[in-house]
Each structure stands twice: as C-alpha cells, then as structure tokens.
Amino acid sequence: MNLETLAIQVTRFHDANASAVTTPIYLSTTYERDAEGNLPHGFLYTRGNNPNRDLLEKSLAALEGGTVGLAFGSGMAAISALFQALKPGDHVITTPFAYYAAQRLLVDVFEPWGLEFSLVDTSNLEEVEKAVRPTTKLFWLETPSNPLLYLTDLQALSQLAHSVGALCAVDNTWATPVLQNPIAFGADVVMHSTTKYFGGHSDVLGGALVLAQDGELAVRLRQIQNLTGGVPSPFDCWLITRGIQTMPLRVKAQSASALPIAQWLETHPAVERVHYPGLTSHPQHEIAKAQMKNGFGGMLSFEVRGGLPGAKKVAGALKVFTQATSLGGVESLIEPRKIYEGPDSPTPDGLLRVSVGLEHLDDLIADLDQALKNA
C-alpha cells in the first residue's frame, strides 16, 4: 500500500457506537468492568492505555514497519524511557552532533544514575568500533542530525551494534517515516518527537518509540511507560493521529521546497555553508540517496558571516519566516541555533536552522533574498 493511503487507513477508528467517521476523543480516565469483572475492550485506566492512544500506537508501528508502537508525552519522555530500560553500568554510544537535549539528558540525569556513555562521530565507523566496550548496550543514533544534518549509515551501524550485542536505536524525527524507515536497515528501535512532523501544526507535544520486534524490550518499555507515567493525553493522541493523515503530503511538499532553497542559498555570496543531505555537495549525499526516499527532508541549516550577531540579524529581517524554535509545522521557522545550545555544543555560531513550511517556494526564497541583502 502507498504511504498516503496507509496513513489514512491506519488512523481510521471503527466506531461501533455511533459510526462516526472521524475518531471520537475518549476523555474517560477509567473503564467499566462487566458483571464478571472483565474489561470488555481491554482498557482499564488511561495511563495504561485508552482508545486514542491505542490507535496512535498501532499507526506509529505501521508507518515505521515495526511491530510495537509506544506513545509518550514528549520526545524527551520517549528517549528517557529507552535509557531507563538500560541498567546502571551499561554503556551507550552516541554522537555530539545529535539533538542537544538528548546529550544533556545523558549528562544531567542518566550519568548520575549510573549510565555510561561515549560521544563519537557516528558517521565514522572506525571511531565507533574503537568506542565499543564490553558493557556497550545501546547505539543512540540520529540521522539526519539536528542541526548540522550529518548522516549516519544505518545499515553499517545496525550491523556493528548487533555484532557487539548492543541495540541500535535511531531518532528519526527529522526524516519521518515518509523519508526513512530505520527498521528496514536493521535498527531495533525508532524514536520520534511527534511534536514535529507527526503533529505537523506546532500545537501538540508528543513522543514515540517503535520497536522492530515484540519481546522482552517491548514488555519492559510498556512497563516503564505505565509506571513512570510520561504518557500523552487522549486529546494529544487524537491531534497526532490526525496529523499523520496529512504527513506524507506535507513532508513531501516540504522536502520539495527545501531542496531548491538549499541550492539557492548555496549560490548566495552572503552564505558561507549550507547543510542539506539533498545537495550533491553534502559529504554524505550517497548515504542520503541510499537510505532516504521521497526527498531529503524539510530541514536545512546554513551559516552566515558575523557569527551569532550575523545570524540574529538575518533571522530578525525575515518576514515570511517566523523566528522561533521547533520544526515540522506548516509555517516556516528559523532560528540562530546557538542560542538554544550550550557553549559546549559543536554548532557554529553563525548557523541558522530552517524548518521549511508549506508556504509557496517563491515567497520563501524572496524573503531570504531580502533578509540576506539587508544583512
């Protein structure tokens, strides 16, 4: 089945009560037992599960080609659940070029709790091999990475992880299942901040884990999800499920605009560097072609002269782009990224991160043109 069709089919709720075409929102926190004390639909208490979350979780698994989907109250809650499934003394391999808060989570929360980790450039297989320890249990990858759009070879890294007895988990937020399915390349776990392209309208916070296999890890993560309680509300699940229905169209359109914007920026004299996996100048363009499909994503970043003040000046002069953090909504956003990351982050001072929205391409380029002229 084609993705557009799948996205509509898996999110359809079959309402036995009123034959509603769109999904009702089940706000009830608790579910009635029958005379024998059984739960007729399997729902007990909303932290454990509810019809809206169930529908979302099944949709997540279907879209990623996985077996089990788990929804969380935020992307960070999803990452935390995965780290909590490890034990003190276990070792995680990750990259300094991934989402900054994921690194902070390791440093500020999980290291004091006993987890060990190494920051390695995961685009370099040899470096990763060298970082492996007998206690390595998880490769935590992100590709394309936020905000420099470095790529990691999913097949090579999954193979390496499995050869040392570790799990391979991938933050697939930027690519979405529309452009990349890490499980197809051997990953065991896929994570999403559903706040971004899944929700798609900058109005709901959510996170997800999708597992390739059912089994021990799935049981453990369900337990963590329920016991630590970082779950989304039924309304949040409803919004994210609705977002899924248009995600294939949105992401394809955003990718189709991002490529010509990246190409245009690359020729602009005020722009020093453009980071976009769809550019033939991207050092890992071949990997992008091998593991991404339907386009290279709606996210790009570029560097201007003059460091952070230079980047701030450009962001401030834009009129169609909104200067704000986050990504994946219908509106184009831009931010001088260094503001949001600590002094230890490898992000260049003059870097502007762009989330391409659904406005007309010509208007976006014209806006960038006037802002860069005045910069």
Judged by CB under 6 A, which of 66, 177, 200, 207 binds ligand PLP?
207
Residues near 116 by beta carbon (within 8 Å), at least 6 away in sequence:
89, 90, 91, 92, 133, 135
**Residue 196 is among the residues annotated as catalytic for this protein:** yes
Stretch that binds ligand PLP, among 32-40, 89-97, 128-136, 170-178 (CB under 6 A): 170-178
Does position 205 bind ligand PLP by CB under 6 A?
yes
110 or 174: whose CB is closer to ligand PLP? 174
Q: Which of residues 107-146 bind ligand PLP (CB under 6 A)?
A: 142, 146
Q: Which of residues 84-113 bind ligand PLP (CB under 6 A)?
A: 99
Does position 75 bind ligand PLP by CB under 6 A?
yes
Does position 74 bind ligand PLP by CB under 6 A?
yes
**Residue 171 is among the residues annotated as catalytic for this protein:** yes
3-state DSSP assignment of residue 38: coil
Q: Exposure of 222 by Cβ count < 10 A (0-12 exposed, 13-18 middle, 19+ buried)?
A: middle
Beta-sheet pairing, 167-171 with 136-142: parallel
| Active-site pick, 90, 153, 171, 236 | 171
State the Cα–Cα distance between residues 259 and 136, nearest whole angstrom.
37
Shortest spacing between CB 205 and ligand PLP, in angstroms: 5
| Active-site pick, 31, 54, 90, 99 | 99
Stretch that binds ligand PLP, among 25-33, 190-198, 313-321, 331-339 (CB under 6 A): 190-198
Judged by CB under 6 A, which of 193, 225, 257, 355 binds ligand PLP?
193
In this structure, which long-range contacts are made by residues 317-325, counting pairs with CB atoms below 8 Å and at least 24 apart in sequence?
317/370, 317/371, 317/374, 317/375, 318/367, 318/368, 318/371, 319/367, 319/370, 319/371, 320/359, 320/363, 320/364, 320/366, 320/367, 321/354, 321/364, 321/367, 321/368, 321/371
Does position 197 bind ligand PLP by CB under 6 A?
no
Beta-sheet pairing, 207-211 with 189-193: antiparallel
341 or 367: whose CB is closer to ligand PLP? 341
Residues near 152 by beta carbon (within 8 Å), at least 6 away in sequence:
95, 122, 123, 141, 142, 143, 145, 287
Judged by CB under 6 A, which of 195, 202, 225, 245 binds ligand PLP?
195
Does position 345 bind ligand PLP by CB under 6 A?
no
Return the active site residues: 47, 99, 171, 196
Interface contacts to ligand PLP, rule CB under 6 A: 74-76, 99, 142, 146, 171, 173-174, 193, 195-196, 205, 207
